[in-house]
Structure 1
Amino acid sequence: MISIEQVRAKVASQKTQLPAIYGGIDFDRDPERFTHDPKDAVVQDRAPNGVAVTHEDLERVRAYTMLGDVVADAYAMLMPQYGFRKLISMLQEACDHGVEHVQDAPPELVALIRAMEQTPAWVDMDLVREGARLERNATAHLAPYAVRGAFIATFLNKYSALPMALTGTLSNESAARRVNETATFFATTTLPGALERHGEGFKAAAMVRLMHSMVRFNAIRSGRWDANVYGVPIPQVDQMPAGLIPVFLMAFKMIKEGRRTFNAEERARVEVSRYRCFLLGLPEDLLADTPEGIVRMMTARNSTLRRGYDDSTCGELVRATLSAYLPPDKSFANRVHNSIERSFAKTFFLREFLKGDRKIAAQMGVEVTPRDQAIFVLGALGITTRMTAYKLADQVPGLRHVADKVLVKRVRSLLKRYGHAEFTSDASQYRPTHGVAKAA
């Protein structure tokens, strides 16, 4: 693990290495989003279940709150020269055929691909493959109904949600695209071989990474971003929840039960999550490999992120995402599926992320009806039954391979349903936001 001083030096180097993005940011100043007072934070208890968050944990999170993605940001800075579509096509070609086959590949593209190719020694690729295999069951059965609910959970804080609002996700069409792209990325990474160098998951990670860097470049240069309030768009600490929430919840539950060591299956799930995060640019010191370490780092992030809910940003994002129509067409079957899935997602969001608080949900415009709850209960029963059946089949040598083939087929079918993911960020679609206007 690198020292806090080394992290701070890396953060400060953005100003000189990438002046077009970070030249105007004061890295010696904490943004408003970072709080030292736990009473003002998203999570007020810094030592849940006997896990003590250290001063070093808090300082590490403080530093990474201002770190973007140096190699991907450098490539995104070429947009004025190449245009964003050319950057995307070169990146896709580099992922498919190797960067050496990209004609006149800029050195920034070479650096990005090489960084992703350099799998660190701390990654166990056999465990990654096993973790991806184990994730296929939930991806095939639970994810299609839970992804919308999990997605809107990222909009509960105005400081971390603002990039989504700025990029135009307040429209139903854009919200639907972002939900389907998120589902596509995670589903793709569970396919056999997807996380190998020329796999579909490696390419999807590269595209997501570039999209995040395009957001940083466009947001900061748009004049609509107040770094003194919001810090760096999509900093490393805001990518932790998206990549690690499932293993964080698993680790949190383990510690409550008094367990401090992962079993073989849990360890594989953690490893695929850590490697996926590595491909997205997260540093090793944010990717703990023990239950206590995972809980400590996530708690450190949440106990320093200032509470803040702005309805014109957070509320509109939640409502746009809940109103979005996700299926590929308006056939009768798809309209029924969308209605059922939306009811399930609303109840899932209420139970898992709002702790059942209907008053807060209503303030956001999320109204969970008895019908929604009934659909959730019936849906959860069906999902649990199917997942249990496949888990039992996985334990039978003669059935494991057959069951896995069915799951792979199911995941590929879902990917067709989600549609082609573009993973792009077009500055012409950016919109002013009330939050930024207020801060400015």
Structure 2
Amino acid sequence: MNRHFHPTLWNQVENQATRIPAIYGDIDFAAVPERFTINPSGEGLQGFEKLIPEIMADAPLVEMMAAYTLTGDVVADAYAARIPEFGFRQLVMWLKTACDKGVEAVPDAPDELRAFLAAMEARPKWLDMNLVREGARIERNHYAHLVPFAIRGAFLATFMNKYSALPMALTGHLSDQLAAKRVHETATFFTLTVMPGALERQGAAFKAAAMVRLMHAMVRFNVMKHRGLWDTRVYGVPIPQVDQMPAGQIGSFLIAFRALKEGREQFTTEERARIEIGRYRCFLLGLPEPLLGDTPRSVARLMLARQATLRSGYDEDTCGALVRGTMNTELSFDTSLPGKIDRELERSFSKAFFIKHFLQGDTKRAARMGVTYTLKDRKLALIAATCIFSQLRVFGFLADIPVVRDFADRLLVGKLEGLLKRYGHASFSSDAASYKSSHHAHN
């Protein structure tokens, strides 16, 4: 691939090998990995086919996607690379202390920890925290009512491609128990971000974002440390920046696409607030600003460019096992009658959500993946949808009435606190002892 448009970015890509040789020293950054393609197959792009030729004709955009396909998280990676000296538990403890009390509270804090925290604390110029707070207030309704039922289905979508799913497989997260842990950790992080004050410097979501970044960096360090576990010629960098986009920006993408469908090139006031919290959440997770669109068109084009340049590839041993493990796991152990009913409704709704939004309604394809969608599932999903969207409408209506708005918001916060207790403690860590080989890895 030609490298004409982003020389500074390519220098940053190549400098990773010098800055963090423990992770990037063996990667040939002059080569484009197999996972990157300029000939999209259409996989995962159904419904957007008309937009793809124009996106792929945008050479600077495609080149930027190639660069970020080879980009990790230099500040978190540099800190994770100190594992041989301090051990991963010590690094986790120091990071937690630094988030809670400031880096000064860590005696003889490594320079890498100071740089990591400084990068997160440096708020970007575009950031409007008042908009972020308003976005969190608006999003609380969705996280209290829709997300608990949709999170499993949305999580399944991250396993649709072997190139981006392999790190999860290598870290041992194929069992039902570990699948539940990852779903709950994901739900915990995103739910925390909409709690009052959680994205402030001393907030729980700020700390959780730091932990997520360290977890991803530990994955990079551990898979690259074990020879034969990861083929850079095929997969490039483990968990590159472009693979952070779907989880962090799927909500923003849906908002943006709806705006474009309605013929709008700007967001409404409410949409703008939801986009702002999404952008700041992604910033805290380490995504660079060029990947964070701020208009309907830029958000949509960036996400579609990422999907179009990711080579399609569904592998039964990797993707299939992850899908089945996630679908079969129990996410709740509430033995009460309401708890049992919720479990049945959640599983069926998550299937419907996954099939509708990520498989374009193809139930036969879902069945081949191990997600069976029966008549009973259809009925339960309909019941769940009726309850979910009724609650969304009620609380949306209450939010528009000044005299009850604050009361309704307190009710939502209470619901979210209950959900966070149900999700349990999120460790956001990656232990190399759980890693395993894969038949995809090459020497």
Q: Map of 1:20-35 to 2, 5 A cutoff? A: 20-35=22-37
Aligned AA for 1:420?
H
Structure 1 runs (4+) greater than 3 angstroms displaced: 39-47, 49-53, 328-336
Q: 1:194-205 to 2 correspondence within 5 Å? A: 194-205=198-209
> For residues 301 and 422 of structure 1, what CA distance do their matches in structure 2 show?
29
For normalisation by structure 1, the TM-score amounts to: 0.96
Alignment of 1:28-427 (within 5 A): 28-39=30-41, 42-43=44-45, 48=51, 52=55, 54-223=58-227, 224-328=229-333, 333-427=338-432
Deviation at 1:338, TM superposition (A): 2.3
- Do the aligned partners of 1:46 and 1:299 also contact (CA within 8 Å) in 2? no
How far has the Cα of 1:40 moved from its partner?
A: 7.2
SS at match of 2:440: helix
Is contact 1:312-1:435 (8 Å) kept?
A: no
* Uncovered stretches (5+) of structure 2, i.e. residues with no partner: none
Q: What SS class does the counterpart of residue 200 from structure 2 fall into?
A: coil
Amino acid at match of 2:197: G
2:10 partner amino acid: R
Runs of 5+ consecutive residues of structure 1 not aligned to the other structure? none
Moved more, 45-54 or 133-142: 45-54
CA distance in 1, matches of 2:12, 2:398: 48
Shift of 1:208: 0.4
How many Å apart are 1:183 and its aligned residue? 0.1
- Tell me the distance in 1 between the aligned counterparts of 2:337 and 2:212: 33
Aligned residues: 436
**Counterpart-to-counterpart distance in 1, 2:168 and 2:316:** 14
Whether the 8 Å CA contact 2:52–2:304 is kept in 1: the answer is: no
- The answer to whether structure 1 residue 5 and structure 2 residue 10 are counterparts is no
Between the aligned partners of 1:284 and 1:188, the Cα distance in structure 2 is 22
Query: 1:435, CA displacement in angstroms?
Result: 2.5
RMSD of aligned residue pairs (Cα, Å): 1.6
Alpha-carbon offset, residue 328 of structure 1: 4.8
For residue 263 of structure 2, what is the amino acid of its counterpart? G
Identity over the aligned pairs, expressed in percent? 54
Report if aligned partners of 1:208, 1:280 keep a CA contact under 8 Å in 2.
yes
Q: How does the TM-score come out when normalised to structure 2? A: 0.95
Deviation, structure 1 residue 47 = 5.1
Distance 1:76 1:268, change over 3 A: same
CA 1:50–1:220 in 2, change beyond 3 Å: closer, same or farther? closer
Give a deviation string over 1:325-361, Cα, whole Å, max 9, x none.
1125555554443232111111111111101001211
Cα shift readout 1:84-132 (whole Å, capped 9, x = no counterpart): 1111111001000101111111111010001000001011111111111
Deviation at 1:180, TM superposition (A): 0.2
- Classify 1:330/1:169 alpha carbon distance in 2 versus 1 (closer, same or farther; 3 Å): farther
Counterpart residue type for residue 16 of structure 2:
Q
CA contact (8 A) 2:139 2:194 kept: yes
CA shift, 1:64, in A, is 0.2
Distance in 1 of aligned mates of 2:158 and 2:40: 20
Report the counterpart of residue 14 of structure 1 in structure 2.
16
The answer to whether the 8 Å contact 2:39/2:309 transfers is yes
Q: Distance in 2 between matches of 1:125 and 1:191?
A: 14
Q: Which whole-Å CA distance do the structure 2 matches of 1:138 and 1:51 have between them?
A: 33
Change (3 A) 1:51 1:262: farther
In the TM superposition, what whole-angstrom CA distance separates every residue of 1:239-296 from its partner, at most 9, and x where no partner exists? 0111000110121122122111100000000000000000000000000100000111
Change (3 A) 1:49 1:215: closer
Kindly indicate whether the alpha-carbon contact (under 8 Å) linking 1:166 and 1:433 is maintained by their aligned counterparts in 2. yes
Q: Which residue of 1 aligns with 2:439?
A: 434
SS of the residue aligned with 1:38?
Answer: coil
Q: Distance in 2 between matches of 1:50 and 1:230?
A: 25
Structure 2 distance, partners of 1:39, 1:291, is 24
**In the alignment, is the contact (CA less than 8 A) between 2:55 and 2:305 conserved in 1?**
no
